[in-house]
Amino acid sequence: MSQDIRRELISKNLGIKPIDHGHVYTFQITIPDSRKQSLSLEQRQAIEQSLLAHQNNLISLIIRRTNAYADEDIEYELVYGADWLQIAQELNIEKVWAWVFDLTDEQTIAAITEMESLSNSSRDTQPAPIRTDGIDSDVATLIDKKLQLATDSIKNSITSLLAGIRNDVDEKLKVLNYKIDNLNSKGLEPVLGRLDNLDEKLKILDSNSTDIKAILQKLDGVEHKLRTSREIIEPIVENPINLLEASIQDIKDALRQVKAQDPHIRAAIEAIEHWKQSEQGLTWENLEISIRAKTNAQHKIKGFAKGTYSQLRKVATIPEKVSVE
């Protein structure tokens, strides 16, 4: 489907015309709290696999221009496509495809309602030949296939894990059998009692395999969150740089290891130099002040926000100064 036809369909459905369609930097788009979504593990994995495979979103976002946010980097507000944008920002995807509109609040509500109606209608209908009265129906079919592949992959992983548990139990049973052969009759009965107990537990394990699969999925999600939160605090590279001594090139090279974008790298360097030259000195606490500072405040550094700060903490350290008495 050509871009002109897509533009005409969107205009027809929403009653408004887009002003542009193309790539937009992810850090320039904000997601209102009302549009943020809680994604299931399957949804998250499917979108992550698609973004990493194509380095782009297969379904275009709908955004509108805005001046309502204090952060100077924010130029657009998301209208539709929160699931794709959330994962793209987490993966540091530099740019995403988007339709750009000039919308009032009333038009935004109407657009969201229309897109959700189209999305629900697509899920309720049976597969049919591609029609021109919907948006990206071919892409929706592709996403369904990828979700199915992700589901199959999860099932295979759980099956392999359960097989590993069984093998481990079998090995332990062999060890127990060997010890039983070497026990005298006095010590045999307690051991046999334990084996009976173990057999009962194995039966319970078999009967509750469905619950175990659900628990394992929840544990995977918890592990992912813990790993993410830990990486924000601790450097993840083998040799983090010392920001008090590192050159500008050292800082650039380090931030590129975690795929920081060039505008973010420049902002980070400007923030570091700002605090080096200040009386307070360069510390993580002072860099956080720059993150929280409002526009035009003394320590505000344009483009230096929470995401850039987190990337900097992954690759660098700032040793505490030791006072000599």
Amino acid making up residue 225: K
Within 35-132, strands assigned E span: 61-65, 76-80, 95-101
Tokens found for residue 86: 């959330």
Contact 50/143 with Cβ under 8 angstroms?
Answer: yes
Q: What is the DSSP letter of 21?
A: E
Q: Return the SS3 of 133.
A: coil
Whether this prediction's pTM lies above 0.75 is answered by: no
Each residue of 239-253: pLDDT tens digit?
899 999 999 999 999
Tokens found for residue 74: 């924010």
Using alpha carbons only, give the angle 239, 89, 79 rounded to the nearest 5 degrees. 170
Per DSSP, the residues of 104-128 read: -HHHHHHHHHHHHHHHHHHHHSPP-
Tokens found for residue 61: 């976002």
pLDDT in tens, the chain (325 residues): 565 665 566 556 655 567 778 889 999 899 998 888 888 999 899 999 999 998 888 888 999 999 888 777 898 999 988 899 999 999 999 999 999 988 888 888 888 888 877 766 555 554 444 444 444 556 667 777 778 888 888 888 888 888 888 888 888 888 887 777 776 555 555 655 676 777 776 777 676 666 667 767 776 665 555 554 444 455 567 889 999 999 999 999 999 999 999 999 999 999 999 999 999 999 999 999 999 988 888 899 999 999 999 999 999 999 987 554 4
- Please name the residue that has the structure tokens 């394992």: 216
Per DSSP, the residues of 261-306 read: -HHHHHHHHHHHHHHHSSSS---HHHHHHHHHPPTT-TT--TT--H
Q: What is the DSSP letter of 137?
A: H
Q: What is the DSSP letter of 35?
A: G
Tokens found for residue 10: 């969107």
